């Protein structure tokens, strides 16, 4: 089956995931995490990509971003990956690839899913049983979004900014989002959309993306509804 082209839209949030090759570690020590974030800050600024949330896990990373132009995310990830691999290989005396092929990404419906993706990203260490609470993990944006620690890399999304009139109010409202476990349906939707390159959003948002990009935003139903306009349109793409 042919690989679908990536979906990129200026001003539209994206959830990006990149994994270590063969699920091997891509961070060995504190210096590696700091180097990755430093390179990411530089690459994001160069290619005009706003970073809203991130988590650096032992063998993969999650980033929530909004690009100014259609090429921004791809260029940022290419530059970031190249710089970090050079640093990592030199520092640890290794050679060869570090990342597992192409990074994966999905466009995010800001009105309905953006804060869910924030939460999904920053709860990764909890789901992996590395910490009991997101606040205990040092290498995620929770430290800033929820606790107010300055992280120059980050830019608040307008949806986050609407959580309160002041930074303190925003942080209080944001922390409230982390009470309890995420619903399994939200976890499944985020994972499927990101891993398969579909759009994460409601039907209206998906229809808007299809109209703007000319590419299907979601998989066809089993066999497709051959009488529907959506099926006929998708068939010809």
The arithmetic mean of pLDDT across residues 125-142, rounded, is: 97
What whole-number distance in Å separates Cα of residue 116 and Cα of residue 170? 15
Q: Sheet harboring 60-67: ordered strands across?
A: 49-56, 60-67, 14-19, 104-107
* pLDDT of 237 strictly over 70: no
* pTM of the model as a whole: 0.90
The answer to whether position 128 is within a domain reads yes
Is residue 87, in this structure, part of any structural domain at all?
yes
Position 195 in a domain: yes
Is position 9 within any domain? no
233 in a structural domain: no
Provide the domain limits for residue 54.
Answer: 14-201
Per DSSP, the three-state class of 77 is helix
Q: Please write the tens of the pLDDT for every residue from 38-57.
A: 999 999 999 999 999 999 99
Per-residue pLDDT, 219: 86
Beta strands 104-107 and 60-67, pairing class: unpaired
For position 87, which CATH number holds?
3.30.70.1290
| Structural domains counted in the chain | 1
């Amino acid at each position: 089956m042919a690989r679908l082209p990536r979906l990129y839209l200026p001003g539209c949030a994206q959830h990006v995931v990149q994994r270590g090759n063969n699920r091997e570690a891509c961070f060995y020590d504190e210096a590696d995490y700091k180097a990755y974030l430093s390179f990411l800050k530089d690459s994001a600024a160069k290619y005009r990509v706003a970073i809203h949330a991130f988590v650096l896990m032992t063998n993969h990373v999650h980033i929530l971003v909004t690009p100014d132009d259609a090429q921004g995310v791809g260029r940022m990830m290419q530059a970031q990956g190249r710089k970090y691999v050079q640093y990592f290989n030199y520092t640890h005396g290794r050679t060869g690839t570090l990342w597992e092929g192409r990074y994966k990404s999905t466009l995010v419906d800001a009105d309905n899913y953006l804060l869910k993706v924030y939460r999904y990203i920053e709860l990764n260490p909890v789901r992996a049983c590395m910490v009991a609470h997101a606040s205990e993990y040092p290498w995620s944006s929770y430290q800033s979004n929820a606790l107010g620690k300055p992280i120059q890399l980050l830019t608040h999304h307008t949806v986050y900014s609407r959580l309160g009139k002041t930074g303190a109010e925003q942080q209080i409202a944001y922390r409230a989002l982390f009470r309890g476990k995420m619903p399994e349906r939200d976890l499944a939707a985020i994972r499927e959309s990101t891993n398969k390159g579909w759009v994460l959003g409601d039907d209206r948002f998906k229809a808007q993306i299809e109209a703007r990009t000319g590419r299907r935003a979601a998989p066809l139903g089993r066999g497709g509804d051959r009488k529907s306009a959506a099926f006929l349109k998708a068939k010809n793409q």
